Structure 1
Amino acid sequence: MASDSRARLIAYLCRAGLSTARANAVLDDYTHSLAEKIREDIGDDITAHTGFAEMSECEGCATVRAANLIDPAVKA
């Protein structure tokens, strides 16, 4: 679904006059900025999440993982 949404947004931007390469760059820049804002929102609180048996139990860690999913600068 995410790739479908991305494809629809790229198509829309192209219809608005951007080249495919520029539309991809704009979308990548936006998602990277959004991921950075999410990480900043968590901030130092992430260091307070210790003592969990698994990272999946940590809400802050889950939020950072979610930010990493949308960030094209983070290689999975």
Structure 2
Amino acid sequence: MADDSRARLIAYLCQAGLSTARANAVLNDYTLGLAGKQRAWADTFGDTPAQQAVASIVREAADLIAPEAA
């Protein structure tokens, strides 16, 4: 599903005049920024087990958007 969504967005950006390489770069930059914002937000959560559990879920969602480099 995500790959289909990405392909549709790339096709749309190409129809709008971007090259495929530029459309991919724009989308990659956006997803990296979004995932980074989610990780930064998760870092602001408290230290209780419940808060850390929620922060972990937010980080997992960020990894789905753009996996963090190991």
Q: What TM-score, normalized by structure 2, do the two folds share?
A: 0.82
| Runs of 4+ in structure 1 over 2 Å off | none
Residue 63 of structure 1 corresponds to 58
In the alignment, the residues of structure 2 paired with residue 21 and residue 2 of structure 1 have an alpha-carbon distance, to the nearest angstrom, of 19
Secondary structure at the aligned position of 2:18 is classed as coil
Cα offset, 1:11, TM superposition: 0.1
Task: After superposition, give the CA deviation of every residue in 1:24-43 in whole Å (9 maximum; x if it has no partner).
Answer: 01000000000111111112
Amino acid corresponding to residue 34 of structure 1 in structure 2? L
In the alignment, the residues of structure 1 paired with residue 23 and residue 48 of structure 2 have an alpha-carbon distance, to the nearest angstrom, of 38
Listed as ranges, the matches of 1:1-76 within 5 Å are: 1-45=1-45, 48-50=47-49, 58-71=53-66, 74-75=68-69
Q: How many residue pairs get matched?
A: 69
Secondary structure at the aligned position of 1:45 is classed as coil
Question: Alpha carbons of 1:43 and 1:26: their partners in 2 closer, same or farther (altered >3 Å)?
Answer: same
Alpha carbons 2:43, 2:55 under 8 Å: kept: no
Secondary structure at the aligned position of 1:69 is classed as helix
Amino acid corresponding to residue 71 of structure 1 in structure 2? A
Structure 1: which 5+ residue stretches go unaligned? none
In the alignment, the residues of structure 1 paired with residue 25 and residue 35 of structure 2 have an alpha-carbon distance, to the nearest angstrom, of 15
In the alignment, the residues of structure 2 paired with residue 10 and residue 29 of structure 1 have an alpha-carbon distance, to the nearest angstrom, of 13
Q: What TM-score, normalized by structure 1, do the two folds share?
A: 0.77
> Percent of pairs identical after alignment?
55
